[in-house]
Structure 1
Amino acid sequence: MDLEAPIAEGLFIKRLNRFLGIVNIKGEYFYAHIHDPGRLEDLLKPGVRVYLRQGRGKYPYYIYAVEASDGLILIDSALHSRIVEWLISEGYVLNGYEITKREVVFNKSRIDFLLRKGDAQELLEVKGCSLLKGEIALFPDAPTIRGRRHVKELINAVNRGLEAYILFLVVRPGAKLFKPNWETDPKFSQTLLDAVKVGVKIIVYKIGIYRWKIKPLGKIPYAFR
């Protein structure tokens, strides 16, 4: 899958709030939108090289990707569903399924996809994972009430006789194992464990970025402790 190339690169200076940072581009300082609600503390460090796209709002840039020890890391969370849609269409995950609907309203939440394979229909929720500690990918990197609500809705779906998946899209090539982040969000982690117990299925899939193309790196295992 091809990605749009950045229009500029620079150095990250500091984060002002959840969605705004300052970058240095050739000696000039600019505001840059951060399109990822996570803390990103292991990625957005002062002095790290960042890649930028044209801003979508009042700021001139938004941070698209960042250099890390394990490669170029995408931090534009708006692309996660699009990447998973491509992975499904190319048969890398959920081979044989087709997407019949996007942004599916279920109870009071929106679930990313409704899938079909023959007569079977399944709900699929996508979560992007960018936190890496050692070789372990962790989600979430900040407490997520919304994420927990989505998992609860998948539990409700299974209890009503539907099938449901949650796919963690790991954007860290160095990851070899995925775990829920009990330390940061024990409520989400417990809800995810409860979901698996009732039959919600988990997929953890890893990708990398090479020359502004998404490279599928395959499934990785997960554990709860």
Structure 2
Amino acid sequence: MKFAEPLVEGRLIRRYKRFLADVRLPDGEEVTAHCPNTGSMLGCQPDNARVWLSRSDNPKRKLKYTWELVETAPAVFACVNTARPNAQAREAIEAGRVPELAGYTECRAEVRYGDEKSRIDLLLSGHPARPDAWVEVKNVTLADGSSGYFPDAVTERGQKHLRELMAQVAKGDRAVLFFVVNHTGIERVRPADHIDAHYGELLRRAKAAGVEVLAYRAALSGADGNPGGRLDLTEAVPVSLQA
């Protein structure tokens, strides 16, 4: 997955009202960018952090810039745009870079399902020997050392998704929780029990019930210690569910 155009570098001034971020560009101009992330973004908004913005020339947009990447520590990068992970996961699956989900001939997005009226991120079908796979995608950017944690805030929506996935397994289909690790410093993924203990408990129950849990990390780093122009998922990382 590649950004359509080179990103614009700046320095973070502040994030506010959840969806807005003020950024100072290299020439001193201050712009307001759209922040496409509803989470707490814990650890992803250090003071004066280097950030990278995508730019749109669409005259119908209120804000020209969108916040995409942040440097959370020297030469450590995270993608904060939560509109990216579904496309990252889909591209990796369709390109055959996720062997656990190989062999499916059709992939549909945002399919309605479940008793709790959910929409699955990706529905894989057409495998000659395996049942349909219901794939729920989650973005992981919260890091503590080399461990990544999900969620970064209490998530009733995420809890609902785990219940829905367990129900699909009970019906005879595959269900997959797919962590897209959009942080170059994360080497393993864990449930954030210290933030949402109920989610961690449900995740362990889901795994025991047959829900598959995968995690793949994106390659964000490029030359000269700057993030590159691609968001490809290139490497599987382990998931530890130990409390």
Return the TM-score normalized by structure 1. 0.93
Aligned to 2:108: 101
Aligned to 1:154: 165
**Contact persistence 1:32–1:61 (CA under 8 A):** yes
Consecutive unaligned residues in structure 2, runs of 5 or more: 223-227
Aligned to 1:111: 120
Aligned to 1:217: 234
Aligned to 1:37: 38
Question: Which of 51, 67, 70 does residue 66 from structure 1 map onto?
Answer: 70
Q: C-alpha distance in 2, partners of 1:161/1:89?
A: 23
**How many corresponding residue pairs?**
225
Aligned to 2:82: 77
Please say which of residues 5-14 and 79-88 is displaced more in the overlay. Answer: 5-14
Report deviation, 1:48.
0.6
Deviations 1:188-213 (A, max 9, x none): 11111111111100011111223202
> Helix, strand or coil: the match of 2:84?
helix
Report the AA paired with residue 102 of structure 2. N
> Helix, strand or coil: the match of 2:9?
strand
Aligned to 2:192: 181
Q: C-alpha distance in 2, partners of 1:111/1:2?
A: 24
Aligned to 1:17: 17
Aligned to 2:47: 46
- Specify which structure has the higher proportion of strand: 1
Q: C-alpha distance in 1, partners of 2:107/2:30?
A: 45
RMSD between aligned residues? 1.7
Of all paired residues, the percent bearing the same amino acid is 30
Consecutive unaligned residues in structure 1, runs of 5 or more: none
Report deviation, 1:7.
4.7
**Contact persistence 2:89–2:233 (CA under 8 A):** no
Q: C-alpha distance in 1, partners of 2:106/2:229?
A: 25
Q: C-alpha distance in 2, partners of 1:151/1:90?
A: 26
**Contact persistence 1:99–1:113 (CA under 8 A):** no
Report the AA paired with residue 129 of structure 1. V
Aligned to 1:136: 147
Q: C-alpha distance in 1, partners of 2:82/2:94?
A: 20
Moved over 4 A (4+): none
